[in-house]
Structure 1
Amino acid sequence: MRITQSMMSRNFMTGLYDITGKMDKTQYQLSTGRQYQLPEDAPMENVQIMTHRSTLVQVNKYMKNTGEIQVWLENSDSALSEVNNVLQRVRELVLQANNSTATTDSKQAIAHEIGELNDHLKNVSNTTIAGRYIFAGTNTDKPPCTKDSNGNWVWQGNNGDINVEIDANATVPMNSKGFDIFVRNDFNWNDLTTPTTPAPEKNLFNMLDALTKELKDPNSTKSLDKFLDVTDQFLDGVNDERSSIGARANRIDFTKSRLEEFHLNITDALSGKEDADMAQVYTNMSMQQNVFRAALSAGSRIIQPSLVDFLR
């Protein structure tokens, strides 16, 4: 077969294109640290890489959700701890006022302190996180504890759960339903004080207002035992909810720990499939540069000078 100048030129250019293509791939690996530039470089491996990436997106979402739940649970527990302390103080004050040795002046002072504590409880019940009321059920955009047109306190929150996904097909309510904490229907206003029309909602704030009113009335001879009983009922509700928060918090801790370990394992698996061996990449680049220079040097000898070269 007769070897012509054009054949040598074509073979030279083919080889040059091949080595520059390899250098382009190696340069990509150097700049990104990844093995594959295009899906067709390794179809099966790229399918696994995309699967791992999709899994990491889901795991990151679950980890973000567990973090948000922890913030809500911690703030809810802190607020309910404050409610518990206030109710314990109210109980102590009621015991003092219920003593036969209590004077009118001392009852007035106790009534004033209970009124201040009640105001504090209203603020606690309207606790917010990022502008969302944590005890309002799903009505997080409105303060749950407000006054009606009759001057009584009403609870506008509902019993809805704010369920957050922490794993595939697994959700956890991150909120505490204030209706179950601050509202009770198992006591009778007639047992506590003279009923009014219309009857106020049976919530903690109206109960404390009624207690304050009884203490301020110098003519009242009613025993405060029923107020103690109702206070204990509210305390039981607070403690029950704090137990629920503790159980959910433990579950979230275990789930978050498992997600972090799973995230690490998937990241390692993704790295094994996707990351380039940088030592090998540097070696390949050095070899390819040498080949490229040798090809150019050989090409300068193979390709004959043209008329333009003589005219320079």
Structure 2
Amino acid sequence: MRVTQSMLSQNMLRNLSGSYNKMGKLQEQLNTGKKVTRPSDDPVVVMKGMGYGMQVNKVEQYQKNMGEVNNWLDSSDDALDGVGQVLQRLKELATNASNTGAMTETDRKAIETEVGQLREHLQDVANTKVGDKHIFSGSMTDKPLYNKENKSFETGDAYKSDVSIEVFDGVNLRVSTDVSKMFSDIDGLLDKVKDLTGTGSSNDGNSFGKMISDIDGQLDVVLSKRADIGARSNRAELMHNRLEMQEGAAKKQRSQNEDVDYEKTITDLITSESIHRATLSVGARIMQPSLMDFLR
């Protein structure tokens, strides 16, 4: 086979073009920090990267959901702490009012007024919201638990149903707390204390004794509800730690799949540059002068 000057020139140009392309690709990897910038570079890496990216996005969404879980549980616990304070103050007022012999009309009026304020506070607590959602209204999050028009607490099944938030694949955490009956019962106690205080009859001692016992019973209910919230908060913390581990693992896999090894890439680029310079040098020797060069 006869090798012509034209064939040598074409081979040299083809090799130079390939060398430029390789250096360009390495430079692009250093600029972007990614192994591939288009699917044609490496379809396998791109497909794996899409899968890892979806996993990272999913974990990030679950972490956002965990934030909402914590908001619901923390707000519920704070609200029930306020209910406990209402009951403690109601117990003090009932104890004072039970001493009917020492109570004046002014004292009874003052207790009735404060009981009225406690009742309004209880109604406000029952309608506690996180964002635009009522946290004590069960699945009826768009409606308040205390209906100001009917002046009563809602007790329907929908107001007792659970609200859950997904925090992992197939894992849901309950964030709602069934307190509709509890609020209704406490509201009834407030009414009774107010009524007993207003009567001032001689047998109020026994009546107030039972009333104080009922208040203690409602305090136990509040503590039980808060204990349940605390248990769910502990589980939420465990899920938060699990999600952090999942996020770290997913990001590590994505990085190993997509990100360049800078040390190796820089070394490859330097090597490619050296080969390219050698190619140019050898090509200059191979490309001997043609007849046209002598004719000039």
TM-score normalised by L of structure 1: 0.79
- Please tell me whether residue 116 in structure 1 is matched to residue 98 in structure 2: no
In 2 relative to 1, CA 304–234 (structure 1 residues): closer, same or farther, beyond 3 Å?
Answer: farther
Match of 1:69 in 2: 69
Match of 2:191 in 1: 209
Q: Quick one: distance in 1 between partners of 2:290 and 2:110?
A: 112
- Please tell me whether residue 153 in structure 1 is matched to residue 152 in structure 2: yes
The one-letter code sitting in structure 1 at the alignment partner of 2:56 is L
Which moves more between the two structures, 273-282 or 211-220? 211-220
Q: Quick one: distance in 1 between partners of 2:143 and 2:288?
A: 83
Match of 2:90 in 1: 90
Give the superposed CA RMSD. 3.1
In 2 relative to 1, CA 292–306 (structure 1 residues): closer, same or farther, beyond 3 Å?
Answer: farther
Which moves more between the two structures, 84-93 or 36-45? 36-45
Q: Quick one: distance in 1 between partners of 2:5 and 2:182?
A: 94
Match of 2:255 in 1: 271
In 2 relative to 1, CA 205–303 (structure 1 residues): closer, same or farther, beyond 3 Å?
Answer: farther
Q: 8 Å contact 2:153–2:183 — kept in the other structure?
A: no
Structure 2: unaligned runs, 5 residues or longer: none
Q: Deviations for 1:245-297, whole angstroms, at most 9, x for unmatched residues?
A: 01101111111112212322332233233321101111222233344455556
In 2 relative to 1, CA 228–305 (structure 1 residues): closer, same or farther, beyond 3 Å?
Answer: farther
Q: How far is 1:48 from its partner?
A: 4.1
- 1:1-312 alignment, distance < 5 Å: 1-39=1-39, 41-42=41-42, 44-103=44-103, 104-149=105-150, 152-155=151-154, 158-183=159-184, 203-217=185-199, 222=204, 223-295=207-279, 302=287
In 2 relative to 1, CA 38–228 (structure 1 residues): closer, same or farther, beyond 3 Å?
Answer: same
TM-score normalised by L of structure 2: 0.83
Which moves more between the two structures, 75-84 or 96-105? 96-105
In 2 relative to 1, CA 178–9 (structure 1 residues): closer, same or farther, beyond 3 Å?
Answer: farther
Q: How far is 1:78 from its partner?
A: 1.1
Q: Quick one: distance in 1 between partners of 2:276 and 2:239?
A: 54
Q: Quick one: distance in 2 between partners of 1:219 and 1:306?
A: 133
The one-letter code sitting in structure 1 at the alignment partner of 2:96 is Q
Q: 8 Å contact 2:52–2:254 — kept in the other structure?
A: yes
Which moves more between the two structures, 258-267 or 109-118? 258-267
The one-letter code sitting in structure 1 at the alignment partner of 2:146 is C
Q: 8 Å contact 2:100–2:202 — kept in the other structure?
A: no
Q: Deviations for 1:40-75, whole angstroms, at most 9, x for unmatched residues?
A: 655555554443333222222222222221121111
Structure 1: unaligned runs, 5 residues or longer: 184-202
